[in-house]
Amino acid sequence: MRYQHPGLDEITQFLQDFGMHVAKKTDTKVWYRGYGPDQYIYYAQKGPKKFLGGTFEVESYAELERAAQLPGAGAIEMLDDAPGGGWLLSLTDPEGFPLNLVYGQTPAEVGKLPEKLIVNYEVEKTRERKFQRFQAGPAAIHKLGHYGLCVTKFDQLLHWYTNTFNLVPTDLLYVNEPPATEGDPEKRKIVAIFAHIDRGMDTVDHHTFFMSSNPTGHVHHCSFEVHDFDTQQLGHQWLAKKGYKSVWGVGRHILGSQIFDYWWDTTGNMIEHYADGDIVNKLTPIGYLPAGEESLAVWGPEVPKWFLD
């Protein structure tokens, strides 16, 4: 993810409390990483609040050159100062949202993976003479999972994202439109998409990108994966103790099945921890569900109004 923040010290403290680590810092730029193979998973630069787009890795420099021919594409830029190097191309979608493509980064050394917990069930108790013990602190981030947009030109952007890139629907949400004339059937109008990256038979996250129709266009949130439910709860407790403002959580989503926890960062952007998400591939049938609060969560606090704005 790429954002612009007026206060780099404030957002850096927040993202460290959120579970990231500073990979590199200058007076005007900061790169943050998790414990996965990415050199960095979040980039911040100094300036007025601004969304600078999500970033997808492409398979070759030739793909960057192909994308550079698209309307709204900038020039391919060498990332001389960024950890891992590489090249970046920034695009603008038909509604004016930025989107970035990257290639050629040197992978980072993977950090230590957290221990996989053994859970005792009512008739299957395999954790013998081993206790569950935890330390208070931030929920360590593994990787970027997804981000999403609220858009005013939904149909146009749906065509652009799914025809320009290998983003395909996992789930589509609809509303029933009233019939034009009496006696006509209701029609389903698609108003949101949860999209995954098409890698054929390889399994991938349930969604890497989502988009919903909205009267105003804005970024909704970005989401980062943590190890498990306990990690997430410890992270929630840590952020609350530090005085940050919760948006919604902890709960369990329906679409994607993730355990979710949303927060406001110090600039007013929404950001999420998630754990235990679904994975899909090309054999996964597309889901069609009605849009609304009933499609959001299996359990958790009542969804706040501003989450749907």
Domain membership flag for residue 57:
yes
> How confident is the model at residue 294, as a pLDDT?
75
pLDDT bucket at 183, cuts 50 / 70 / 90:
low
Domain membership flag for residue 114:
no
The stretches of 108-153 forming alpha helices (DSSP H) are: none
Domain membership flag for residue 130:
no
The span from the CA of 307 to the CA of 309, in Å, is: 6
pLDDT bucket at 184, cuts 50 / 70 / 90:
low
Domain membership flag for residue 121:
no
Confirm if 170 and 196 have CB atoms less than 8 A apart. yes
Note down the domain range covering 260. 2-107+139-307
pLDDT bucket at 62, cuts 50 / 70 / 90:
very high
pLDDT bucket at 111, cuts 50 / 70 / 90:
confident
- Nearest by Cα to 278 from 127, 122, 105, 146: 146
Q: How many domains does the chain have?
A: 1
> How confident is the model at residue 309, as a pLDDT?
79
Domain membership flag for residue 128:
no
Domain membership flag for residue 266:
yes
The span from the CA of 100 to the CA of 242, in Å, is: 33
Domain membership flag for residue 118:
no
Quote the percentage of the chain above a pLDDT of 70: 98
Tens digit of pLDDT for each residue in 131-181?
A: 999 999 999 999 999 999 999 999 999 999 999 999 999 999 999 877 766
Q: What's the DSSP call for residue 97?
A: -
The span from the CA of 142 to the CA of 36, in Å, is: 5
Q: What is the pTM of this model?
A: 0.95
Statement: residue 7 has pLDDT above 70: yes
CATH of the domain at 150: 3.10.180.10
Domain membership flag for residue 133:
no
Statement: residue 89 has pLDDT above 70: yes
